[in-house]
Amino acid sequence: MRIVVKVGTHSIATKTGRPDYGSLKRIVREVHSLTAAGHEVVFVSSGAVAAGVEALGLDSRPTAVNEIQMCAAVGQARFIFEYEKLFARKGLKIGQILLTHYDFEDYRRAQNVRKALELLVSQGIVPIVNENDVVADEELKGRTFGDNDWLSFLIAKLTKADALILLTTVDGLLDANGRRIPRVDSTRNVGKLVRAGEKGKLSKGGMDSKLKAVKAAVASGIDTFIANAAKASLLQLVEKKQQGTFFPGSAL
């Protein structure tokens, strides 16, 4: 099975943006559990800009494009260094891929991305994918990937993944009373059933961006999950579907 795993900024970084090393270790351990079971994994990780914010001593995520690019350049190096060490301890090699919308809009570039990802996973290498904030033009409103939620869907569709896992800081999709919804068989009116999501000052996402990605993924026939990065066992999530919220592929 081919699985795209996406982790959000606040699941792997402290409130200041510093990498949360305990969380990083847990995520890497869970990804390793999937590969050890024979699954192919593409890992989409947010957190670069947040790490840069902390490393540069800034109080919050900047709004100026050039300052965001600066934070991304500093923070991406910080995160990939940690990931390389942690995956190596599990006997896994990693490869870094940074993407923008243009890589999906141009057919030739999209196919190059697909071929690169498929070669990496076929060789047992874990691709670590992130938006290329250093060159992405965030002044074009609506053109960002929403803390990588939409990017993870595009990767899943491009690589014909069987499942997409969106890891966050809550136990799944929550109803208006804060209770986890175990399974959603229709995404048509799902936004009316759930508590409004919030995004932190270091990220661009929130539950709204996740639901957008979920709807597109299930419409493409991809089984999709929203789960808590701090609690979920990814292997049990995929095999038993007893944690988080499960959206069956084609749940329209």
Which tens digit of pLDDT belongs to each residue from 93-110? Answer: 999 999 988 899 999 999
Domain 2-247 has CATH 3.30.200.20: no
d(CA 236, CA 224): 14
Residue 139 has pLDDT above 80, yes or no: no
How are beta strands 126-131 and 94-99 bridged, if at all?
A: parallel
Residue 143 has pLDDT above 60, yes or no: no
DSSP 123-177: TT-EEEEEE-TTT--TTSTT-S-TTTHHHHHHHHHHTT-SEEEEEESSSS-BBTT
Percent of the chain with pLDDT over 70: 88
pLDDT single digits (tens) 212-226: 899 999 999 999 999
φ, ψ of residue 115 in degrees (nearest 5)? -65, -40
Strand order in the sheet with 94-99: 94-99, 126-131, 40-45, 2-7, 163-168, 223-228, 245-247
Residue 32 has pLDDT above 80, yes or no: yes
pLDDT band at 204; cut points 50, 70, 90:
very low
pLDDT band at 146; cut points 50, 70, 90:
low
pLDDT at 196: 47
Mean per-residue pLDDT, 166-187: 88
pLDDT at 165: 97
pLDDT at 193: 56
Residue 198 has pLDDT above 50, yes or no: no
Mean per-residue pLDDT, 162-169: 95
pLDDT at 195: 54
d(CA 112, CA 144): 21
Mean per-residue pLDDT, 39-50: 92
* Inter-axis angle of helices 21-36 and 65-89, nearest 10: 60
d(CA 4, CA 43): 6
- In the predicted model, what is the mean pLDDT of the chain? 87
Mean per-residue pLDDT, 62-80: 89
